[in-house]
Amino acid sequence: MAFLWRHPKSQYWIARFYDGNGKRRNRSTRCTERKKAQKLADAFEEAANRKRTAAQTRRVIAALHAEITGQGLPVQTLRQFIRQWNENKRAETVPSTVAHYENVAAKFLDFLGDRADADIAEVTMPDILAFRAHESHTFAPKTVNHSIKYLRMVFKVAKRDGLIADNPAEFVKTVREREADKRARRPFTVDELRAVLSVADAEWRSMILLGL
């Protein structure tokens, strides 16, 4: 029989059950009432032990959720959630960090294409791994790893809020630094510094000189 669990910071119950292969699964019921959540948990377990397509399973769960709660199954898309998460960070971090977050978000959403506008719960660990591989072809390991860490943070909050039951980025490992990326960096030459300063505005001139 499926059983329930709730994160201390979330209002929603999480269903825990075993699928037909004996693997334990976690799924958010998006219900705050225990009795209603238990019915959904049992439905999740039944669906996991029957051979149904993903679309069929979603229809069954959506219909049951509407029957129990009188409302349609709430859905928040990945794009909506990431936009709100980044917006919340504006009050907590410096502008340069927010700009980094928005850059990673734009790349990930673009990578997923139309799926970025689907339910955030549909993003899987293979999606994160595929994105990591895609980024590794273009960017240095350090840049790729920063992107993975960003996604971990985003999905951690989604899990806390009960929108997803598992963080798909939680166990995605960072990439190893290649030998070619370990070569020593040389300092700027005087001519290079002059070139940079010649196009920098007053604020950036101060930052560059302070860094020196």
Per-residue pLDDT tens over the stretch 165-176: 789 999 999 998
State residue 18 phi and psi, 5-degree precision: -110, 140
Is residue 148 predicted with pLDDT exceeding 90? yes
Tokens standing for residue 48: 């996991």
Q: Using the 8-state DSSP alphabet, how is residue 29 labeled?
A: -
Separation of alpha carbons 119 and 2, rounded Å: 23
Name the more confident of 87 and 188: 87
- Does the pLDDT at position 69 exceed 70? no
Indicate the pLDDT class of residue 132, thresholds 50, 70 and 90: very high
Whether the per-residue pLDDT at 11 is higher than 70: the answer is yes
pLDDT tens-digit profile of 87-98?
Answer: 999 888 898 899
Domain 78-177 has CATH 1.10.150.130: yes
Pairing relationship of beta strands 14-18 and 3-5 according to DSSP bridges = antiparallel
Q: Where are the domains of the chain?
A: 3-69, 78-177, 185-212
The pLDDT confidence band at residue 187, using thresholds 50, 70 and 90, is confident
| Residue 18 and residue 4 in contact, taking contact as beta carbons nearer than 8 Å | no
Share of the chain above pLDDT 70, in %: 83
Report d(CA 162, CA 160) in Å as an integer.
Answer: 5
Q: Which residues pair with 134 in a beta bridge?
A: none
With cut-offs at 50, 70 and 90, classify the pLDDT of residue 179: low
pLDDT at 81 over 70: yes
State the average pLDDT over residues 93-122.
92
C-alpha distance from residue 130 to each of 24, 28, 112, 126, 169 (Å)? 24, 25, 10, 6, 11
Say if residue 66's pLDDT is above 70. Answer: no
The pTM is what?
Answer: 0.59
